[in-house]
Chain A
Amino acid sequence: MKFKDKLLMAIDNIWRRKLIFLINTILGIVAITLLAMVVHMYNRTTYTNKEINRITVLSEDEIYFLSLKTFNFKENENLINRVLDFYEEIKNIETVNWFGTYAIDDFFLDNKIEGLEEIYKKYSSVSDSMFSMYQLLPIPIAVYEDKGINRISMNIEELDITGVKTDSDISELNITDEYIEVLVGSELKEYFEKGKIYSYHQSDEKVSIKVVGYLQEDSIFYKENVLGGAPVYICLDGYMVFPEKYNYELDVYGSAITNNAMIYSHDSDIKNKIEILSHKYNINVDLNSLEGIMKDTLKENVMYQNIKLLVIFIFILTVIAYSASGIVGILTRKNEVGIFYSCGLSTQNIISTIAIENIIQLIIVYVISALFIYTKFLESNASTLSALGIEKDIFIRYDSIILLAVVFSILMVVTIFPAIILRMMPIGSMVNDN
């Protein structure tokens, strides 16, 4: 039997059984998409779950994230001044050890409003032009003796105290004479005294840091990865928390944080005080403690756990249904298979025709789900990415590629089930079955 004839026969069989084919195709797509969800969630949660006990209060004092909810600077001419005054007052609260603006979102990027520059200049520890704004993120920087390593990195190893130093990272920093306020990790406690100013050289520039506080042992920095991958999750014992310059091109991960300032304080009443101030200046703000944010994240993770289990369950059911329908497809055609056999088609011919049928189906299922998953992944990230001015197609997700490969293998195995079943049946006597 010629391959062309097998192919034609397979296509013909598909066409004549289009309803079953359609049902199978939908099942297949559902199975793949569900698996995609599982993998997606798996990435999201495992890291934290594994070390869930290690998340403690980040610092001896507390870090708060302050989000501005009043944004409309254009229509609200004196808003900038109000924000400036508001910030100034916060900074002057005695119990506030450290205050800095740190967040940027697309609103600021799209509307380079005059005056915002002023805010950033005044409250960012490192100053620069409006064009490249700063973000005071508690991203760790390793400091030892007179060397500084400044990185925004997803790679924990790279952040190690004995770690790397690259010129490109350092050149991003434009350091002024002012000192930079830092929090020191517990392992470094003995080297850095609270309140003291230390200096080191970075490229040709002298950098001064002032120790404003210590981190508790086992402090973990957790930041959700907005793109759905593994979260940033770093034990901070060996690090200093440093105000970091924000780099749009390199770091796409930090963008979704909508908070606009970070407050470091040990005042249990700080929330109230800031609330009162926000009323005074008529600025709508959100104040969240880092601890609170982390707790919420953990709660969310538990919820994801349950959803994950449910989805895995549905996925297994779907895969079973998919393979079962392939097998039923054979069993309901036993008589036909027997006729083919009696007409001289060999077992090999019949099995390969059925395999071709299934493989055509698989390819269709696979292509549709791949497109589906891709657009889904990309779309969910599109707003984030476009806010960062990043072309969406430069972003390739490895985990989705791996996922698609894994799924293809699983379905490939499921796809040859019917052929295996057929191989085990007495084809010769099937002509009499109906």
Chain B
Amino acid sequence: MIKLENITKIYSNNNEQKALDDVSLQINDGEFVAIMGESGSGKSTLINIIGMMDKETAGTYLLDDVNISELNLSQREKKRRENISFIFQQFALVKRYTIYENVELPLIAKGVPSKKRKVKIMEALKALGIEDIANKYAMNTSGGQQQRAAIARAIVSDSKYILADEPTGALDSNNGEEVMKLLEDLNKSGKTVIMVTHNENLAKKAGRIINISDGKLRF
């Protein structure tokens, strides 16, 4: 369970502007939440704080009843490694790595032995139908394939929470819908999915929509 209490984020290098302003929010396990809002409204900031890529300026963040706000950097990194998977708009693959190697990263981070890694990776690639491009370099694959690889990467790490920042933003509608389908499947398999999107049709498929503007939640 994710619980944000009065979270504020200020970027000191950006006119002391509040990217998030007193945000309180609870997301239960197994939910599929869509976050919507204008550009610059603070969606990515929110999802980055939930994913512990960034630290809030004020407020309390509880993840599964653990007070994340009180943890130090390496403790937070450990929490993230164990609980969070990211999917980004621009796919976020290391371009000079193969698809296989990209999917391998979270497993390396977790210290999984290489034989076990191989089994898991091939399983995930097969599930997404991209096993035949496993050894292609990421930069030589299409956007749809890359986003599937990014989802495969989220699958292999078997994290409880999947955070997707505009996962379909750079894809055509066919591919976008397919990715949406995959996220729904993940949600059905028990993962909590939090997705930022501009697409209202896709957002409607989520169990809940959270609107954000100027760093504040609107209901």
CB distance from B112 to the nearest CB of A (A): 9
Q: Which one of A54-62, A75-83, A284-292, A345-353 is at the B interface?
A: A345-353
Indicate if B80 sits at the interface (CB-CB under 8 A). Answer: yes
B108 near A1 (CB under 8 angstroms)?
A: yes
Residue interface bits B49-76, CB-to-A below 8 A is 1, else 0 = 0010110000000000000000001100
Give the residues from 329 to 344 in chain A that come closer than 8 angstroms, CB to CB, to chain B: 335-336, 338-344
CB distance from B116 to the nearest CB of A (A): 13
Give the residues from 310 to 364 in chain A that come closer than 8 angstroms, CB to CB, to chain B: 335-336, 338-349
Query: Which residue on chain A has the smallest CB distance to residue B48?
Result: A428
Indicate if A429 sits at the interface (CB-CB under 8 A). Answer: yes
Bound Cα distance A342, B51 (Å): 9
From B54, B84, B92, give the contact of A429 (CB < 8 A): B54
A339 near B92 (CB under 8 angstroms)?
A: yes
**Chain B residues with CB below 8 A from A347, complex form:** 73-74, 77
Indicate if B110 sits at the interface (CB-CB under 8 A). Answer: yes
B53 near A428 (CB under 8 angstroms)?
A: yes
B108 near A5 (CB under 8 angstroms)?
A: yes
CB distance from B17 to the nearest CB of A (A): 15
Q: A336-B94, A429-B53, A431-B88 are in contact. Are A343 and B48 (CB under 8 A)?
A: no
The 6 closest A-B pairs by CB, nearest first: A428-B53, A344-B81, A344-B109, A343-B105, A346-B77, A342-B86
CB-defined A-B contacts under 8 Å, sample of 30: A1-B108, A2-B111, A5-B108, A5-B111, A9-B108, A336-B94, A339-B92, A342-B53, A342-B86, A342-B92, A343-B86, A343-B105, A343-B106, A343-B109, A343-B153, A344-B77, A344-B80, A344-B105, A344-B109, A344-B110, A344-B157, A345-B81, A345-B108, A346-B77, A346-B81, A347-B77, A349-B109, A428-B53, A431-B88, A431-B92
Interface residues of B (CB under 8 A from A): 44, 48, 51, 53-54, 73-74, 77-78, 80-81, 84, 86, 88, 90, 92-94, 96, 105-106, 108-111, 153, 157
Question: Given known contacts A347-B74, A431-B88, what 12 new A-B pairs fall within 8 Å (CB)?
Answer: A1-B109, A340-B105, A342-B86, A343-B106, A344-B80, A344-B106, A344-B157, A347-B73, A347-B77, A428-B53, A432-B44, A432-B88
